[in-house]
Amino acid sequence: MTDHYDTKETRDPAEREADLLSRLPAILRKAMQAPAYAERLRGVDPVSITSRAALAQLPVLRKSELPALHKAAPPFGGFVATPSGAFARLFTSPGPIFEPETAHADPWRGARALFAAGFRPGDIALNTFSYHLTPGGFIMDSSARALGCAVIPAGPGNTEQQFELIETYRPNGYSGTPDFLKILVDAAIAADRDISSIKRALVSGAAFPPSLQKEIKSHGIEAYQAFGTADLGMVAFETPAHEGMVVNEDLILEIVKPGTGDPVAAGDVGEIVVTSLDPDHPWIRLALGDLTASLPGTSPCGRSNLRIKGWMGRADQTTKVKGMFVRPEQIAEIAKRHPALGRLRLVVGRAEETDVMTLRAECAAPDATLQNELTATLRAVTKLGGAVELVRAGSLPNDGKVIADER
């Protein structure tokens, strides 16, 4: 049995770099057929962009800008030349941000990540990412099917029905958040249900600290992490070497100083910027707001692409809670709906290996009615449950921070 998805994963790094950069001018020409890219890249000659140094001179497009840009020029802010009806599926993510799914096989580039995690053709995968409006469920679903796996489109929640499916179909793989995997394992133990067929997992969308990794492994499940986004699909993934994450093929990944487009020195922490080489939906220097650092050398697993340390925090205040982005703009919307409040701060933490969030709100006269109303607004705006803590006026720091990720 081969250890790699294909020979592209083990080619000489110089060969890969030459291939990516030789394809870049054609991708730029395709991107510039879209009005927003044509404006942003005005005066750029695609033929001249054949090196990382030249690419670094192009403007960065920040993911945090996309909600406003999409609202101003729906549905995709003018960054997509392909007609919407030519795509396979059309999604939305919190922000809102709108994403199309291209019609070709493995549109989110996830088959490699699943292969590295031990999934093989003929396997059965229990996919617990959400299929409702957002692309998460379809990212893993289409990737597993491209690999040759059968998929149980379970989505999150309803553990009783999940147990019935697991005991009937006996899936050997799991994809979803690490939090829900723990919920599934704990609930199975409590209910004396058999989920022992699951031997491997590809998890993403939430923190997977060493303590939870150890716990999941103690139940006989070998879990691998992946870093992906709703815009790009799978960006990087863990391999059997368990030494950082290998960047996916057909992507040009840069690490830049936060707030700029300037590449950092090798090994320094910076913001992830990705250029994709998909002609149907190219991204040119999309800054994700996520921090990472490169690792030296190549992976002991034999994959020769750039390695990153994985997710190391946010370059901006946008963060992920239970696999869903929470943005400063959403906290501003809560404040708008409750104008009598003072400063707001959403504090994100962990409790019993699960993401939790608490909205701290300054108010003149705390009462239960206000707390209940604010709790409902928090859920309505973020689509996530959270606690509300009313604090005295002037007690929150005047530092401009509205989201504090303390995980």
Please tell me the predicted confidence (pLDDT) of residue 260: 77
Q: CA angle, 89 as apex, 88 and 94 as ends, to 5°?
A: 155
Backbone phi and psi for residue 67, each to the nearest 5 degrees, phi listed first: -55, -45
Distance CA 193, CA 187 (A): 8
Domain stop point among 315, 344, 366? 315
* 114: helix, strand or coil: helix
Tell me, what's the pLDDT at 399? 63
Mean pLDDT computed over 120-134: 96
Task: Count the neighbouring beta carbons within 10 Å of the beta carbon of residue 147.
Answer: 21
Looking at the structure, tell me whether residues 138 and 282 fall in a common domain. yes
**pLDDT > 90? residue 94:** no
Same domain? 298 vs 337 = no
283 with 353, same domain: the answer is no
Residue 334 lies in a domain: yes
Question: Rounded CA gap, 200 and 119, in Å?
Answer: 8
Q: Residues 52-92: pLDDT tens digits?
A: 999 999 999 999 999 999 999 999 999 999 999 999 999 99
Please list, in sequence order, all residues whose beta carbon lies within 8 angstroms of the beta carbon of residue 15, skipping any fewer than 6 positions away: none
Domain range for 324: 320-405
pLDDT of residue 388 exceeding 90: yes
Last residue of a domain, one of 299, 315, 331: 315
CA 185 to each of CA 127, 170, 213: distance values in angstroms, whole numbers, following the listed order: 15, 15, 13
Q: Are the C-beta atoms of residues 55 and 49 closer than 8 Å to each other?
A: yes
- Domain shared by 364 and 310, yes or no: no
What does the pLDDT look like over 273-315, one tens digit per residue? 999 999 989 999 999 988 899 999 999 999 999 999 988 877 7
Backbone angles phi, psi at 152, to 5 degrees: -95, 110
Check whether residue 14 and residue 73 sit in a common domain.
yes
- For residue 272, give the nearest of 248, 284, 289, 252 by alpha carbon: 289
Q: Is residue 1 part of a domain?
A: no
Within a domain: 355 = yes
Q: What's the pLDDT score for residue 381?
A: 94
In terms of domains, do 343 and 251 share one? no
Q: Could you say which of 257, 282, 315 is where a domain stops?
A: 315
Question: At 200, which CATH number?
Answer: 3.40.50.12780
**Is 2 part of any domain?**
no
Residue 118 has pLDDT above 90, yes or no: yes
- Same domain? For 81 and 113 the reply is yes
Q: Residues 184, 331: one domain?
A: no
Q: What percent of the chain has pLDDT over 70?
A: 99
Domain annotation covers residue 189: yes
Please report the pLDDT score of residue 400 as a whole number: 60
Q: Write the pLDDT tens digit of every residue in 217-272.
A: 999 999 999 999 999 999 999 999 999 999 999 999 999 987 778 898 899 888 89
Q: Residues 214-224: pLDDT tens digits?
A: 999 999 999 99
The answer to whether position 387 is within a domain reads yes
Most confident of 30-44, 314-328, 340-354: 30-44
Confidence at residue 166, expressed as pLDDT on a 0 to 100 scale: 98
Domain count for the chain: 2
**Which stretches within 125-209 are classed as H helix?**
136-147, 159-169, 178-191
DSSP letter for 359, please: E
User: Is 225 contained in some domain?
Assistant: yes
Residues 269 and 379 in one domain: no
Look at 149 and 404; give whichever has higher pLDDT: 149
Q: Which of 154-158, 196-200, 323-327 has the highest mean pLDDT?
A: 196-200
For residue 1, pLDDT over 80 is answered with: no
At 402, the pLDDT band (50, 70, 90 cuts) reads confident
Same domain for 298 and 327?
A: no
Q: Is 90 exceeded by the pLDDT of residue 316?
A: no
Average pLDDT over the chain, rounded to an integer: 94
Q: Does one domain contain both 22 and 81?
A: yes
Q: For residue 89, give the nearest of 32, 136, 45 by alpha carbon.
A: 136
CATH of residue 371's domain is 3.30.300.30
Among the residues of 192-254, which ranges form H helices? 210-218
pLDDT (average), residues 125-130: 97
Query: What count of Cα atoms within 13 Å lies in the side-chain half-sphere of residue 388?
Result: 24
Confidence check: pLDDT of 98 > 80: yes
Residues 304 and 338 in one domain: no
| Residue 95: per-residue pLDDT | 87
d(CA 61, CA 236): 20
Residue 73: inside a domain, yes or no? yes
Better-predicted residue by pLDDT, 246 or 316: 246
